[in-house]
Chain A
Amino acid sequence: MEELLRLEQVSYSYDHGAPALEALSVTVSAGEKIALVGENGAGKSTFLLCCNGVLAPTSGKIYWQGQPVGRDRRSLTQLRQGVGLVFQDPDAQLLAGTVEEEVSFGPMNLRLSREETAQRVDRALAAFSLEDFRSRAPQYLSGGEKKRVTLADALAMEPRLLLLDEPASSLDPGNARLLEENLERLSSQGMALMVATHDLDFAWRWAGRVLVFHGGRLERDGTPEEVFGDAELLSRCGLAQPVLMEVGRLLGMTPLPRTIEELKKEWNR
């Protein structure tokens, strides 16, 4: 698999504070589906901000497609273009007067031509069915619509890796399902995704790889089966076993069902 992002021994501490990230090493390859789990304050958001180059690591190195990322404008722009970040609170991200202008902010900063910008905006709006909201003010949209706009914001930069910080935290079940479909679609188009989440059932059903954070450290980096199969790890990091995994185990199924559909199929056999 082609390597996209590599962090080597990255540490970060907010001013005068205890380290929020400690000696963290991760490699992300193209097309991966990674879930970040861990308690509040475990370092997930800080990690995402480092991956996008918003925060400069206190020590350690970041590589984008094999090239070391410095703090100069050019390599930061390259990193941020390749790595999109969707913030947890849409209001922290929305700043333009209309949805269309909002989505154009990233491409405009990349100094693309007008035509290219307009095309990218159109594609991003279409990808999240936002065409009808084009000239609406993003501030007055509903929570789910705002989230879609912020996704389109990131998508318009055409990143190879998309980071999402608790994307479903303020969504109702319908919008959360829509979000998951959108993630699935982006992933099938070859985009690597990294999602910080507290929804362990989602992590179990969706992720191909799970990173467990605890107190600023990366406690475990493995497949969902490995991570959620380790009872000691789960209790130490304040996590729990996903419901479907537990059900599958009780019923003695192999492989363990990831979705309700898989469970039903296994059950009916």
Chain B
Amino acid sequence: MITGILTALALFSLLAGRIPFLPLALLSAAGGLVLALLSRHHSHGPVVIDQLAHRSALGQASTGWKALVCCLLLVMALNIRHPAAALLLGLMAAVFTILGAGVPLGEYLSLLSLPLSFLLLSGLALLWGYSTAPTGMLSVPFGGGFLTVAAEAQTRAALVTARSVGALSCLYLLALTTPLSRLVSLLRRLRMPEVLLQLMTLIYRYLFLLLELHRTMEDAAASRLGYAAFPQGVRTTGKVWGGLLFRSLHRTRQYFDAMESRCYDGRLEFLERPLPLRGRDLVWGLGLMLTGLALMVFSWR
């Protein structure tokens, strides 16, 4: 709800004065509403990302190649000098992720909504300034002076936001098609220190167990009317979190025992089957990069 209102406000100030009032107001309201609706299921976000990555049609593509393509696209997105080109690049990556890698549109948008609203909100800080006179595209009297939105601020905020959105969807192309274990093994080949890799693997794995434990405990509390009214809800939340701490400490011991029982000696390694670079992966990767490059060069002129 708050996300929606703030998003609408950000959209409104971003485009104020550039398009007529009525369409602007409608557009902002629609944008806010869409984000508010999309951002309802976030507690399952990490699980959804992981499931999508495991099911992805690009799961068998070489991890190194995917990472290379996505990193280069990311660099391009950040160097584009026109908001429309950055958005186009982002759209291209998004369309490829949805059609090429088989990520359902609804899931994609829902996952995008959280960072997107965050981006728009930080856009607010870039947009609004303080001045003594009512200048710029928008101004609101405030404490003896005026809160204003300058035209340059709009241009700057639009570029920054568009670049971030572009970069974000490039990153999603990697994140939604590659399970973490594959990324870890890529990083291992790139000589990342072992202790970091182990931490990544273990934290990632146990994050999910913790989320599930949390959900179970919350459901159990809700079934006993723990959230029936606000004061009860606050109390229950505290108890659930306290219980979660206790249970997770207890479980840590179990997990470590289980690893010990299989001769764990400080090295967390698995048998990996290297994924060869296939022709079709080469084709889509090069296609995406060439288009990105063209967009970037075009935006420089």
Contacts and interface: CB of A to CB of B under 8 A. Distances in A.
Interface string B258-301: 11111111011111110000000000000000000000000000
A85 B263 CA distance: 11
A137 B271 contact: no
B217 to A, nearest CB: 15
Contact of B271 (A85, A87, A94, A101): A101
Nearest to B205: A95
A80 B272 CA distance: 23
A153 interface: yes
B251 interface: yes
Contacts of B263: 76-77, 80-81, 106, 109-110, 157
A92 B273 CA distance: 25
Q: How large is the interface on A (under 10, 10 to 19, 20 to 34, 35 or more residues)?
A: 35 or more
B255 interface: yes
B105 interface: no
Contacts of B257: 49, 54-55, 87, 92
A114 B51 contact: no
A84 B260 CA distance: 11
Interface string A136-165: 110110000000000001100100000000
A118 interface: yes
Interface string A49-79: 1001111000000000000000001001100
B161 to A, nearest CB: 34
Given A96-B181, A97-B182, A104-B271, A73 B50 contact: no
Contacts, number: 93
Contacts of B180: 97
A114 B255 CA distance: 26
Given A98-B181, A153-B262, A89 B254 contact: yes
A66 B116 CA distance: 65
Contact of A106 (B50, B51, B262): B262
B208 interface: yes
A206 interface: no
A91 B209 contact: yes
Contacts of A89: 254
Nearest to A93: B258
Nearest to B180: A97
A137 B262 contact: no
B54 interface: yes
B201 interface: yes
B26 interface: no
Interface of A: 49, 52-55, 73, 76-77, 80-81, 84-85, 87, 89, 91-98, 100-102, 104-110, 114, 117-118, 121, 135-137, 139-140, 153-154, 157
26 contacts: A53-B260, A54-B260, A54-B261, A77-B263, A85-B261, A87-B258, A92-B251, A92-B254, A92-B257, A92-B258, A95-B202, A95-B259, A101-B181, A101-B271, A102-B270, A104-B271, A105-B262, A106-B263, A108-B267, A109-B262, A109-B264, A109-B267, A109-B269, A114-B271, A137-B54, A157-B262
Interface of B: 50-51, 54, 59, 179-182, 201-202, 205, 208-209, 251, 254-255, 257-265, 267-273
